[in-house]
Amino acid sequence: MTGPRYTPLAAALPSTVPFVGPETQERLRARPFAARLGANENGFGPSPRAIAAMAAAAGDVWKYGDPENFELKAALATAHGCRPENIVVGEGIDGLLGYLVRLLVGPGDAVVTSDGAYPTFNFHVAGFGGVLHKVPYAGNHEDPEALLARAAEVAPKLIYIANPDNPMGSHHSGATIAAMVERVPEGTLLVLDEAYVELAPEGTAAPVDANDPRVIRMRTFSKAHGMAGARVGYAIGHPDLIAAFDKIRNHFGMCRISQAGALAALQDTTWAAFMRRLIGASRDRLAQIAGDNGLVPLPSATNFVTIDCGDDGAFARAVLEALTDADIFVRMPFVAPHNRCIRVSCGPEAEMAAFAAALPGALAAARAASSR
Amino acid sequence: MTGPRYTPLAAALPSTVPFVGPETQERLRARPFAARLGANENGFGPSPRAIAAMAAAAGDVWKYGDPENFELKAALATAHGCRPENIVVGEGIDGLLGYLVRLLVGPGDAVVTSDGAYPTFNFHVAGFGGVLHKVPYAGNHEDPEALLARAAEVAPKLIYIANPDNPMGSHHSGATIAAMVERVPEGTLLVLDEAYVELAPEGTAAPVDANDPRVIRMRTFSKAHGMAGARVGYAIGHPDLIAAFDKIRNHFGMCRISQAGALAALQDTTWAAFMRRLIGASRDRLAQIAGDNGLVPLPSATNFVTIDCGDDGAFARAVLEALTDADIFVRMPFVAPHNRCIRVSCGPEAEMAAFAAALPGALAAARAASSR
């Protein structure tokens, strides 16, 4: 007897995964990390009101979550000055990107992104047979001009840009993004990933109309709201596009506890303001640690700081591995020249102190290895 | 400016959704339900240990869940006497069915199911362009012979069967299902949905080897474990098939709180045994209520009782609508002749009493309407 018959596309897909989780590394190391600073998680955690709402919702989890996400969408619509019909809630931005790609991208369809940008988006594009066209960053920034120029050549279904950017932490002004929207080709949709935008300087969120059919904006409770494990993302876009998600999404896919937590987090605007201060101070702390060690911290509009280790990818990899050996979980950009850097999440002082304590030794180990 | 360009398949999909949630009905009615008995939810709720574990995990939700679901898979493998490589965990059976269909079914591919079986499976098949071939039930049971006969004609990628069955609550012996597996055509995979099997009589779980490449079994924490809102399902199958899910699944899609709750629920075998007694008693209670009103309760191997209202679909629909007016949420099978029935979830005595109080009036209202 043989196995099942996969689709030709599924049979051809590689078995690679976008990211290896820190728990996997801990199991391989047979030792826990002392500081979990690699996944752009927010160690300051969610609003205490969100924690209380989630704990209270645990006993009610025998009920399916509301498949319409009605209350959360209503609150989000108020917060964004749009209508609930402009919003779809899903299982994190990752889940929503999967649905979006499925709606638009079939085998052979062109998609434009930046080389080194979010790999999970690429995972979804490849998963539906799309063809990725990658343009280089301009220095540490994604390059709207290059993205638009490539789009003019290949007429893609989608252009992806993150603002602020991950993994470099850089940002464009919202005005720059809005100008980019005006130049998106007919029949192309701009995917604007604003996962970190609540932590960016004033004016970074693009002033685009929620009803603009040329762009869909992705937001999340994973970063500024500190709820990565709850898996709550949302997208803002034209009502026709938003309605199309209903054709394919896992309608009962949202965790009811997460729905309750996200609603409480959204309403706790005092905590959100406090969080911006906490993250800002933590960015300064990480920049100081980098500088103290003779490294260059890149300016960050996110809850992480990308640190230029001043050499090539092999050197940064050695620094990362030495940090791992010292029980500090960090990650690094995938492609050159960004892979000269390591990427470190903001977090409470205990984790910052652990990183500060481990970095000098990690640099010394990497330098010793590279001089051999 | 125009909108985005959908795939031909996405453009052609209808905007229908598999189920309307009770919250949606409550908003339309502008009144809450007094008893929530329509969605096969388990109102007895999860293990108190699972509730405690979820409440405790709320503060840790700043961390992404383990994308490998390592601890949960290890515990499930122990419970099922298989290896972790035989298990994939996902966002409910709904989510796993979506991934499975995506892996195997492309435009025009045949899929065999029963007319009136789980509509969310059909939603996914249609969503990937598959062609559904439906065979009738044999009375109140799904019909293995008919499913196999149709499969022999159309060489489907998948055959779907639920054991126990939803919406009729009937079941086959595990031996019958195991014999069915032996006759699955080459190149066809049997999807065995065992969502309710923990609540069925001894011997209902099919004695099939986890490594058998002809079958994949779907299980869930939504029913016996009372955690529908947590969205934790899992599938057991051949390691090659299980590994294929990694090519496409939302690796970071699981809620961390739900992972903790499912692990605690699985370990609380005392509660699980207690739950089987609670559900058994509640089934008896529902059967008694039906009999007291001159209706015929169908034998149930699940956490719901399907009640034959003794007339046609229009009559059962009238009963359901009168129950809704009396603030009792129930559902009914979609297709004739099953739609002569209503389907009522087991639950605590307060909800049973509310149903018992409302049913005589609902029947009277339906009879008055049908005699007009």
Residues 178-207 of B with CB under 8 A from A: 186-189
- The reported pLDDT for the residue numbered B170 is 98
Q: Does A81 touch chain B (CB under 8 A)?
A: no
**Fold identical between B20-45+270-370 and B48-267?**
no
Residues 307-336 of B with CB under 8 A from A: none
CA distance B140 to chain A (A): 27
CATH topology of domain B20-45+270-370: Aspartate Aminotransferase, domain 1 (3.90.1150)
DSSP state for residue A372 in the 8-state scheme: -
CA distance A63 to chain B (A): 5
Q: What angle do CA B360, B364, B370 make, to 5 degrees?
A: 145
Question: Which of A13, A245, A7 is closest to A127 using CA atoms?
Answer: A13
- The reported pLDDT for the residue numbered A1 is 63
Show me where the domains of chain A are located: 20-45+270-370, 48-267
Residue-wise pLDDT for A206-260, tens only, equals 999 999 999 999 999 999 999 999 999 999 999 999 999 999 999 999 999 999 9
Q: Does A108 touch chain B (CB under 8 A)?
A: no
Nearest CA in chain B to A240: B3
| Neighboring chain A residues of B109 at a CB cutoff of 8 Å | 7
CB B137 within 8 A of CB B167: no
Residue-wise pLDDT for B213-239, tens only, equals 999 999 999 999 999 999 999 999 999
- The reported pLDDT for the residue numbered B18 is 73
- The reported pLDDT for the residue numbered A268 is 98
CA dihedral A222, A228, A230, A235 (to 10 degrees): 30
- The reported pLDDT for the residue numbered B54 is 98
Mutate to test the interface with B, among A255, A259, A263 (most CBs of B within 10 A): A255
- The reported pLDDT for the residue numbered B354 is 98
CB B217 within 8 A of CB B236: yes
Find how far residue A103's CA is from the centre of its chain.
21
- The reported pLDDT for the residue numbered A19 is 83
CB A352 within 8 A of CB A359: no
Angle, nearest 10°, between helix axes A256-267 and A48-57?
150
Q: Do A23 and B68 touch (CB under 8 A)?
A: yes
| % pLDDT > 70, chain A | 99
Residue-wise pLDDT for A73-117, tens only, equals 999 999 999 999 999 999 999 999 999 999 999 999 999 999 999
Secondary structure of residue B36 in the 3-state scheme: strand
- The reported pLDDT for the residue numbered A331 is 97
Q: A275 pLDDT band (50/70/90 cuts)?
A: very high
Q: B43 pLDDT band (50/70/90 cuts)?
A: very high
- The reported pLDDT for the residue numbered A67 is 97
Residue-wise pLDDT for A143-154, tens only, equals 999 999 999 999
Distance (Å, whole) CA A239 – CA A299: 36
DSSP state for residue B91 in the 8-state scheme: S
Q: Do B214 and A1 touch (CB under 8 A)?
A: yes
| Element spanning B104, H or E | helix B92-104
- The reported pLDDT for the residue numbered A17 is 76
Does the structure show a pLDDT above 90 at A2?
Answer: no
Residue-wise pLDDT for A13-32, tens only, equals 998 777 889 999 999 999 99
CA distance A371 to chain B (A): 37
- The reported pLDDT for the residue numbered B1 is 63
Distance (Å, whole) CA A208 – CA A215: 8
Distance (Å, whole) CA A355 – CA A360: 9
Extended beta strands in chain A, E state:
35-36, 87-90, 110-114, 131-135, 158-162, 189-193, 215-220, 233-236, 296-297, 304-308, 328-329, 341-345
| Neighboring chain A residues of B102 at a CB cutoff of 8 Å | 7, 10
Residue-wise pLDDT for A308-336, tens only, equals 999 999 999 999 999 999 999 999 999 99
Does the structure show a pLDDT above 90 at B371?
Answer: no
Mean pLDDT of B150-175: 98
What is the maximum alpha-carbon separation in chain B? 64
pTM: 0.97
Mean pLDDT of A177-206: 98
The overall average pLDDT reported for chain A is 97
Mean pLDDT of A184-190: 97
Phi, psi of B14 (to 5 degrees): -75, 165
ipTM of the complex, rounded to two decimals: 0.97
The overall average pLDDT reported for chain B is 97
- The reported pLDDT for the residue numbered A371 is 81
Class (C level, CATH) for B48-267: alpha beta
